[in-house]
Amino acid sequence: MIAVVVGTRPEIIKMAPVILELQERGLDFTFVHTGQHHDYEMSKIFIEELGLPEPHYSFVLRGESPGEQIGEMIIHLDKVAKVKKPDVVAVQGDTNSMVAAAIAALKVGADVAHVEAGLRSYDWRMPEEHNRRMIDHISKYLFAPTEEAKRNLEEEHVYGEIYVTGNTIIDALDRYLSVAEERSREVLESIPFDEFGLVTFHRAENVDDPQTLKDFVRILERSPIPLVYPVHPRTRKRLFEFGLWEKVKEIKHVKLMEPLGYLEFIGVLKESLIVLSDSGGLQEEVTHPKIRKHILVLRTSTERPEAVKAGFAFVVGTNPVVVLSTLERVLEEKPQLPETSPFGDGKASRRIVDVLEGAG
């Protein structure tokens, strides 16, 4: 039996094609939501939107710190594993939920299957870098999205079996893009610009640093094009704390929005001119053949070098001079983009379930 564990919305999106593939094949699986994101009601709506079954198990976490939450998740997942006795526990990515699920699986004698294995930023300030390395080294099945990710795993001499599958985000976009175009119409009508850049900014190493956040606000102020900016709750909180929120609200060429649902966000992404973001997943999403956008990565490192090599992504950090000069250059030169994604052909979930079916 296979257990599929998710805890955050990006994990739900990337595991959705795998869950639906398991369901379509009639395979026995248990779907677990760890409750890492506090607003579980929002996650439930999200799960319904993507046409997924309701989780068999879900938890409410009471701890505030990462350590407390990981501890709680391990306790909850250990209880589930003792009841369901999974042969394989499938996890995705690099969050605290996935570390907890992988450790719990290991301790009850289940094999760990890591979807999106082998990503490396080599930036130890990122908690995700610690998490993904730990998970990779205790996984029996490693589903690397690209050949580069496979090489990273081979260089680290992981003990598990490595499979290059592509990234399930491409599968998800294949499945949901037409629905997203329909669902985002109202949001797009509320945007007062004919052409715009799309902005996201939320990573702890960025928004928790007052100077980095000030630099980000300067980038917004001086942008040569209008910007649409759905504000992450963490970033909004820090903008208030550091006395920057009013300044951001006054920028006339920036349309501030509440966080968007996945389908609405993808619809807005498709209509944008360019993307500025510190997100990891967006570096993959912009490469989909029906989206094809340039992205300025507002970080000093990336665990998705494939997007850089293919010409989609530019790692620019958060220095306003560097970001704005690169933005102006890309807008002016409009560098050509490939027709295909470096992250696969949309059949990753099929390849992953082929392996899980034999393992579970």
Write out the catalytic residue numbers: 202
What are the DSSP calls for 77-139, one per residue?
HHHHHHHH--SEEEEESSSHHHHHHHHHHHHTTPEEEEETTT-----TT-HHHHHHHHHHHT-
The arrangement of strands across the sheet holding 141-144 comes to 57-58, 29-33, 2-6, 88-92, 111-115, 141-144, 161-164
Closest CA to 167 of 310, 359, 44, 33: 310
Compute CA 183 distance to the chain's CA centroid, rounded to the nearest angstrom.
20
Element (H, E) at 30: strand 29-33
The structure tokens listed for 156 are 């680290």
* Cα 53 to Cα 48: distance, rounded to the nearest angstrom: 7
Distance CA 18, CA 94 (A): 17
**Which amino acid type is present at position 56?**
H
As a whole number of angstroms, the distance between CA 183 and CA 243 comes to 35
| The two three-digit tokens of residue 184, written as one number | 């985002």
Other CB atoms within 10 A of residue 185 CB: 11
Instruction: Identify residue 269 by its one-letter amino acid code.
Output: L
For 32, what's the count of Cα atoms within 13 Å in the CB-facing half-sphere?
31
Beta bridge pairs of residue 4: 31, 90
Could you report how far apart the first and last alpha carbons of the chain are, in Å?
5
